[in-house]
């Protein structure tokens, strides 16, 4: 007998027929002798509908009251799901975030889980019941309803699995697993049998939307076996787990990309201690995430500083750095929204040489200019013009033979 946590996304429970389909899948696991905990999202489109409704009365809506409203989406789904199971003669109990004792901080709309008391869930499981938990929501220390932000149901599922010490956490979605790149961009994208936590963290941070990045972080921290599967097929999907020797033998596992970044450049910045802090201090206080940073070699006591931020934060960033640039006498502030970031990822990079050279050569051969470069132990990222993004993805996918079951890199 195994303890299994399954999570189903909005498309999986989009209507009564799909809810019944999910219930039948869960029932099979329960009849096989497993203890089943099911985490559900709101029906597809419901969260957006509730946000639109709130803005008809208050724009912007109060954050606390908005969380109270948005949490009702998952409440509807878990109650309908449990109703159906009970109509089939099965024992089932639905639990909202506060009933499942999922405790969070008070950051409305983007709360973080700080602890879970599993007593209630375990009591229901001991009674032989299928336990359904509302994803995306929790409760703060004084009882306020909170929500975890987009993709929060993934985080709920993995956090619950970690707290219960579950044997497996399965994330069901509308794709069959993790691919070497987005199959909508390149038809040669290959479904991976498994991928390491670190590789998945990098992919999630770069915009891969199959898993929410906080859920992967939880899985890695607590060593939760995580499998990504499709609700609409019986394919086993992709296992996200600790890296092993087989993974390390493969230099590159995937190509990821992001189109949600903008570049900011400040020219002729006085090159003296404390200047960088002058720029990035106000940006940090505004909760703007800075990604790639490049500072040129000082010439005549001046340098150029370039960095990237999310496109949605560009206007605020320009306002903040523009003020500092004026105060310190920098020449001008430039920006560019027509960029994209393409990255190759693989834990095998630690043990293989020539990876960066091969990446840059492949892009050069395709006539793609690199504007910025960033590296880590298992990732190399290049900022390019956004019009070349799809070409870059295909070129790099081919350069590292990712369509093959065991990609290799030439010496």
CA 285 to CA 321: how far, in whole Å?
12
Nearest to 197 by CA among 162, 152, 230, 231: 162
Concatenated DSSP letters for 298-341? Answer: PBTTEEEEEEEEEGGGHHHHHHHHHHHHHHHT-SEEEEE--EEE
How far apart CA 275 and CA 328 sit, in angstroms, is 8
Digit-coded pLDDT (tens) for 382-392: 999 999 999 99
Q: What is the pLDDT at residue 406? A: 57
* Residues composing the chain: 411
pLDDT 10s digits, 65-108: 999 999 999 999 999 999 999 999 999 999 999 999 999 999 99
263 in a structural domain: no
Secondary structure (3-state) at 386:
helix
Query: Which residue, 34, 37, 42, is CA-closest to 9?
Result: 42
Q: Identify which of 226, 163, 167 has the alpha carbon closest to the alpha carbon of residue 195.
A: 226
Distance (Å, whole) CA 220 – CA 93: 29
Do the domain assignments include residue 20? yes
Give the total number of structural domains in the chain. Answer: 1
pLDDT tens column, 129-147: 999 999 999 999 999 999 9
Domain hosting residue 152, numbered range: 3-174
Distance CA 337, CA 377 (A): 28
Cβ neighbourhood burial of 225 (10 Å; 0-12, 13-18, 19+)? middle
Rounded distance between C-alpha atoms, residue 189 and residue 181, angstroms = 5
Residue 30 vs residues 5, 85, 87, 392: alpha-carbon distances, Å: 11, 12, 16, 46
Instruction: Tell me if 73 sits within 8 A of 40, measured CB to CB.
Output: no
Q: Is the pLDDT of residue 410 over 50?
A: no
Tens digit of each residue's pLDDT (9 = 90 or more) over 264-316: 999 999 999 999 999 999 999 998 999 899 988 888 899 999 999 999 999 99
- We report the CATH number of the domain holding residue 83 as 3.40.1160.10
pLDDT tens for 161-216 read: 999 999 999 999 988 999 999 999 999 999 999 999 999 999 888 877 788 888 99
pLDDT of residue 408: 45
Decide if 16 is inside a domain: yes
Dist. CA 397–CA 400, nearest whole Å: 6
pLDDT at 277 (0 to 100): 94
User: What are the tokens at 80?
Assistant: 């309908």
**Is residue 92 situated within a structural domain?**
yes
In a domain, 271, yes or no: no
Whole-Å CA distances, 354 to 16, 46, 357, 361: 53, 48, 5, 11
Q: Considering the domain boundaries, does residue 189 fall inside one?
A: no
Q: Which two tokens stand for residue 239?
A: 């296992």
pLDDT-above-70 percentage for the chain: 98
* pLDDT attached to residue 205: 84
Residue 239 within a domain: no
Is 320 domain-assigned?
A: no
Angular region, 319: left φ>0, alpha ψ -120 to 50, beta rest: alpha
- Give the pLDDT score at 407: 47
Q: Whole-model pTM above 0.95?
A: no
Tell me what the pLDDT averaged over the chain comes to.
93
DSSP string, 251-308: S--EEEEE--EEEEEEEEEE-STTHHHHHHHHHHHTTPPP--EEEPPPBTTEEEEEEE
Task: Provide mean pLDDT across the span 367-376.
Answer: 94
């Amino acid at each position: 007998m195994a303890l299994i946590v399954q999570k189903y996304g909005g498309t999986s429970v989009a209507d009564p027929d799909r809810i019944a389909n999910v219930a039948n899948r869960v029932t099979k696991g329960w009849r096989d002798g497993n203890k089943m905990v099911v985490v559900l999202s709101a029906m597809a489109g419901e969260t957006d509908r509730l946000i639109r409704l709130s803005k008809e009365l208050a724009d912007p809506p109060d954050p606390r009251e908005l969380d109270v409203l948005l949490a009702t989406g998952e409440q509807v789904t878990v109650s309908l799901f449990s109703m159906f199971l009970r109509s089939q003669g099965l024992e089932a109990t639905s639990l909202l975030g506060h009933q499942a004792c999922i405790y969070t901080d008070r950051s409305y709309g983007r709360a973080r889980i700080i602890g879970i008391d599993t007593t209630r869930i375990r009591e229901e499981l001991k009674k032989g019941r299928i336990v359904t938990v509302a994803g995306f929501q929790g409760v703060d220390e004084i009882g306020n309803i909170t929500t975890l932000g987009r993709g929060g149901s993934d985080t709920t599922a993995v956090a619950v699995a970690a707290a219960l010490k579950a044997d497996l956490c399965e994330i069901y979605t509308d794709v069959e697993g993790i691919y070497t790149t987005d199959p909508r961009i390149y038809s040669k994208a290959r479904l991976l049998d498994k991928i390491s936590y670190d590789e998945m963290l990098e992919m999630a941070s770069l915009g891969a939307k199959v898993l929410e990045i906080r859920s992967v972080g939880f899985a890695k921290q607590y060593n939760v076996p995580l499998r990504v599967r499709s609700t609409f097929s019986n394919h086993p999907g992709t296992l996200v787990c600790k890296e092993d020797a087989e993974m390390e033998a493969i230099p590159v596992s995937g190509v990821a990309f992001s189109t949600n970044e903008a570049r900011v450049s400040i020219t002729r910045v006085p090159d003296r201690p404390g200047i960088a802090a002058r720029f990035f201090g106000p940006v940090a206080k505004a909760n703007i995430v800075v990604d790639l940073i490049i500072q040129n070699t000082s010439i005549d006591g001046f340098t150029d500083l370039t960095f990237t931020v999310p496109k949605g934060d560009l206007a605020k960033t320009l306002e903040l750095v523009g003020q500092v640039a004026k105060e310190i006498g920098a020449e001008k502030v430039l920006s560019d929204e027509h960029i994209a970031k393409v990255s190759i990822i693989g834990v095998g990079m630690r043990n293989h040489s020539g990876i960066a050279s091969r990446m840059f050569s492949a892009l050069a051969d395709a006539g793609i200019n690199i504007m910025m470069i960033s590296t880590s132990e298992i990732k190399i990222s290049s900022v390019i013009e956004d019009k070349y993004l799809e070409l870059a993805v295909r070129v790099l996918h081919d350069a590292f033979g990712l369509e093959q079951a065991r990609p290799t890199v030439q010496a």
